[in-house]
A and B are shown apart, each in its own frame.
Chain A
Amino acid sequence: MTAEIVGTYATSLFLLIGSGFALVGAIGLLKFNDSMSRMHAPTKVGTAGIGMLLLASIVHSSLLGETSIHELLIMAFLFVTAPISANFIAKVNIHQKACETPPDPPRDETWSTLNVPDSDPDPDPANQ
């Protein structure tokens, strides 16, 4: 009986913490000033919040007597893919010059996402 009460309180606590983290991520997405700072809020805090919600789901399922740890699969998937999508969005920001262009890499002339090959036509129609 006591374990049940402790589990219920733990589930509620994980739910509150997780949804709070998700909200903080969304507020960061809205409030920050430039694209690169906006990117860091939801990709990290939001993922941590969802991890907390999935933890609440695990605790709750063990409370009902049918323990499932499938949620760990979603957690692992999210934790692996969130940095990859953040990296892609950062590349989009660099490509569109929506942020300060980073200094040139040490060995190459420019970043590959900014590089225009010689064989490509000029993208600006005024120069053709």
Chain B
Amino acid sequence: MTAASGFMEIALIVAFATLALGQILSIVRLVLGPTSGDRILALDTMVINALGLVVVMGIRHGVQIYFEVSLLIAMLGFVSTVALARFILRGDIIE
């Protein structure tokens, strides 16, 4: 193992740990609230961080299939954020 690949192993582990810590902090905000706007924001942040975890996993395994997974997560995350916000704003999602 060369010095460069050893450094990258450490960087991957640090990236996994940092993103997981970010998820935990977002869960704390999700539980604390206090308003529903904060909860929607915490869920949005968790979706973005999960996307980051999937991307880092793809780098770790060196496989391309994780690309589709992350694209799907990005799209569903946006749609669900908009749907939740619209439900609070209008009392209905599709009028």
Contact = CB atoms under 8 A, between A and B. Distances in A.
Contacts, number: 170
Chain B binding surface SS class: helix
B93 interface: no
A50 B48 contact: yes
Q: Which 7 A-B pairs have the closest CB atoms?
A: A12-B11, A26-B22, A88-B85, A19-B18, A19-B15, A8-B4, A42-B45
17 contacts: A11-B59, A12-B7, A16-B14, A20-B18, A22-B52, A23-B18, A25-B22, A26-B21, A26-B25, A29-B42, A29-B45, A30-B25, A35-B38, A38-B38, A42-B48, A53-B56, A77-B71
Given A35-B35, A77-B75, A96-B37, 10 more contacts: A11-B8, A12-B4, A18-B52, A20-B18, A26-B21, A53-B15, A71-B55, A74-B51, A85-B78, A88-B82
